[in-house]
Amino acid sequence: MIETCNLSFIYRKEDIDTGKVTEELALKDLSIKIEKGSFTAVLGHNGSGKSTLAKHFNAILLPSGGKVYINGMDTLDEKKVFNIRQCAGMVFQNPDNQMVAAMVEDEVAFAPENLGVSPKEIRRRVDECLAAVNMTKYAFCSPSQLSGGQKQRVAIAAVLAMKPDILVLDEPTAMLDPMGRREVMETIKRLNREQGITVVLITHYMDEASQADRTIVMDDGEIVLDGTPKEVFKNVEKLKALGLDVPQVTLLAYELRKSGINIPEDILTEDECFDALNNVLGGASR
Amino acid sequence: MIKAENVCYVYQIGMPFERQALKNINLEIDDGSLVAIIGHTGSGKSTLIQHFNALVKPTSGKIEIDGINVTSKDADLKLVRRKVGIVFQYPEHQLFEETVYKDIAFGPKNMGLSDEEIDRRVRESAKMLGIKEKHLEKSPFDLSGGQKRRVAIAGVLAMRPSVLILDEPTAGLDPKGRDDILEIIKKLHEKNEKMIIIFVSHSMEDVAKTAEKVIVMNEGHVEMMGTVDEVFSKSKKLQEIGLDVPQITRLTNKLKDAGYDLPDNIYTVEEAAEAIKKLAGGVRNV
């Protein structure tokens, strides 16, 4: 479980020429709880504070004010930092920036090796984690031979090998093609469903956010919307004002409602939209 | 005009990882066109655009840029590279100067232009990209991701290329940053009658909204080439090769399959809303 209590974070910047220090409040008094086993998506435009928040979940950044607890461990407690990092694994946007080994298998073994896990157990974990992301076939490949989606799945396997309870992903699909995005999203959802791993997904893609259990929208260091995707995406006007999108079918339903067509406001998927339109149109001009 | 005749390209000839990246490419791109290139990772998109400014030369076949045969031994490659400006993926990583002004001026300066001419071009490009005068003296590293990217594009534009190529110009941007870039591409196209603009994208929604023509790459060859209508009307073929059509098009296709009388070429929410309102109006009148 992740819990933040009145979390604030200040970025300090020093101007090299003048020595003037400017402070920017990137997170403002955030208190949220993310339940064990849940799948939460975090949305927000660039600079809204979502990556800053995510980096607090494995103690890359430490609060300027307030507290962050990961499975009850205070991130400000220096003795707990290693436990916290093992417990909350992080995957970043660019897979090329986080690959260290020359072979896929070694990449996945890297973290447990550093944790001092026994060789036999490492072997077991590597096989298990590569299987969990459907990459067993590529165990002996060099990461440079893989597609973006495959690399990102290896990066996820490398984090899984630490046996984390929480997986924090910071725009993991931003650099991928549609197929790669689908592969990574399927993998994340399966890990959440089958292994009960808590997932926090930071994304710019509204269709990805709509697949989560809970969607949090951030703006200017604060949480402005929080609820199920259906509850959040209903707020079309507000999301637009925040510089965000809604899924195309949700926007369509919104436009149609505005012109007096009676269609539900909480449409998220193509199928829902199809059924609703089929109801309204009732076989027009068939 | 860009012309490719039977272009083939093989990576690492004679090595164990030898791979044919381009197979028999034949295409012509007329002056003044706005073209999108789509295709999954590894389909040859990036290899193809690198041929357009002679960063890579074909293993066999011929490339002509504005009548210059790039493949001939005495071709003036310097001239070709001035004519064809490429904005690579994540171009903001290539910013390096102290100020935004100097970064944009770097290209024109290397061309040996006079100071007045450089100044004129820097200000003109900055204006085109929506970069404010007051930002010109700032460090590029103090800008947001979307702003940095616009500075990088301005730097290429300041060389006044006759062909502008952008490799995934919207990757990693938030929805607002993405829309800004797409608007700029459209504006550049409108204001420069003869300039060829080519952009690579994974987002079918962006392509449908922005491009006039689409080149579809698959496994190193041109799978399709045509107008947005021609390409997106073949949704089954696109899905077979790991691509897609916009979500809204999938929805209207489904409605059409169910017998509703909707036009074929719907790619945006506005178009769909218009068409469905018409249908619903028909229902009410009955």
Give the total number of structural domains in chain A: 1
Cβ separation A252–B146 shorter than 8 A: no
- Determine contact, residues B115/B164, Cβ cutoff 8 Å: no
Cβ separation A178–B40 shorter than 8 A: yes
A279 lies in a domain?
no
Per CB-CB distance under 8 Å, the chain B contacts of A274 are 251, 254-255, 258
Measured in angstroms, the CA of B173 and the nearest CA of chain A are apart by 7
**pLDDT of amino acid A286:** 45
List the single residue in A with minimal CA-CA distance to B272. A252
Please report how the helices A148-160 and A119-132 are oriented relative to each other, as an axis angle in degrees rounded to 10: 140
Q: Does A175 touch chain B (CB under 8 A)?
A: yes
Measured in angstroms, the CA of A230 and the nearest CA of chain B are apart by 18
Per CB-CB distance under 8 Å, the chain A contacts of B269 are 248, 251-252, 255
A251 lies in a domain?
no
Of B196, B232, B241, give the one whose Cα is nearest residue B214.
Answer: B232
**Can you give A21-64 as a three-state secondary structure string?**
EEEEEEEEEEEEEECCCCEEEEECCCCCCHHHHHHHCCCCCCCC
Q: Along chain A (286 residues), what's the average pLDDT of each consecutive run of 10 residues? A: 95 76 90 96 90 93 95 94 92 85 94 92 94 91 86 92 94 84 91 95 91 95 95 93 90 92 89 91 61
A253 lies in a domain?
no
CB pairs under 8 A between A and B: 119
Listed by number, the residues of chain B in 194-253 with a beta carbon closer than 8 Å to a beta carbon of chain A are 202, 204-205, 242-244, 246-248, 250-251
CA distance B136 to B122: 9
List the single residue in B with minimal CA-CA distance to A251. B269
| Nearest CB partner across the interface for A252, out of B144, B145, B248 | B248
Q: Is the dihedral of CA B66, B68, B69, B70 positive or negative?
A: negative
Q: Is A282 helix (H, G, I), strand (E, B) or coil?
A: coil
A21 lies in a domain?
yes
Strand-by-strand arrangement of the A214-219 sheet: A88-91, A166-170, A198-202, A39-43, A214-219, A222-227
Measured in angstroms, the CA of A3 and the nearest CA of chain B are apart by 27
Task: State which H helix or E strand residue A185 sits in.
Answer: helix A178-195
Angle at alpha carbon of residue A208, lines to B44 and A30, rounded to 5°: 130
The separation between CA B150 and the C-alpha centre of its own chain, rounded to angstroms, equals 14
- Mean pLDDT of the region B156-169: 94
CA distance B221 to B44: 8
Per CB-CB distance under 8 Å, the chain A contacts of B41 are 147-149, 176-177, 179-180
CA distance A199 to A195: 11
Cβ separation B283–A284 shorter than 8 A: yes
Mutate: best of A16, A218, A285, A286, partner B, most B CBs <10 A: A285
Measured in angstroms, the CA of B270 and the nearest CA of chain A are apart by 8
- Determine contact, residues B38/B204, Cβ cutoff 8 Å: yes
| Nearest CB partner across the interface for A249, out of B41, B172, B247 | B247
| Nearest CB partner across the interface for A249, out of B176, B244, B248 | B248
A224 lies in a domain?
yes
| Nearest CB partner across the interface for B41, out of A147, A259, A261 | A147
A286 lies in a domain?
no
Measured in angstroms, the CA of A269 and the nearest CA of chain B are apart by 9
Cβ separation A278–B144 shorter than 8 A: no
- Determine contact, residues B207/B228, Cβ cutoff 8 Å: yes
**pLDDT of amino acid B141:** 87
Listed by number, the residues of chain A in 5-44 with a beta carbon closer than 8 Å to a beta carbon of chain B are 44
Domains and CATH numbers, chain B: 2-243 (3.40.50.300), 246-286 (no CATH)
Measured in angstroms, the CA of B248 and the nearest CA of chain A are apart by 6
CA distance A223 to A28: 9
- Mean pLDDT of the region B9-16: 85
Per CB-CB distance under 8 Å, the chain B contacts of A207 are 247
Strand bridging mode B60-65 / B213-218: unpaired
Range of the domain at A123: 2-246
Report the amino acid identity of residue B81. R
A271 lies in a domain?
no
Listed by number, the residues of chain A in 76-105 with a beta carbon closer than 8 Å to a beta carbon of chain B are 93
- Mean pLDDT of the region B50-56: 91
**Where would I find the H helices in chain B?**
45-52, 77-83, 100-110, 115-128, 145-157, 175-191, 204-210, 228-232, 235-240, 247-257, 269-285
Kindly provide the ipTM of the predicted complex, given to two decimals. 0.77
Strand bridging mode A73-74 / B19-29: unpaired
Q: Does B3 touch chain A (CB under 8 A)?
A: no
Side-chain half-sphere exposure of A24, counting CA atoms within 13 A: 11
Cβ separation B251–A249 shorter than 8 A: yes
**pLDDT of amino acid A284:** 53
A283 lies in a domain?
no
**pLDDT of amino acid A113:** 92
* CATH number of the domain that residue A154 is part of: 3.40.50.300
First-to-last C-alpha distance (Å) of chain B:
54
pTM for the whole structure: 0.83
CA distance B121 to B131: 13
Q: Does A244 touch chain B (CB under 8 A)?
A: yes
- Mean pLDDT of the region B79-84: 91
Measured in angstroms, the CA of A68 and the nearest CA of chain B are apart by 27
List the single residue in A with minimal CA-CA distance to B276. A256
Looking at every residue in chain B, the average pLDDT score rounds to 91
Residue B285 has pLDDT above 60, yes or no: no
Q: pLDDT tens for residues B212-223?
A: 999 999 999 999
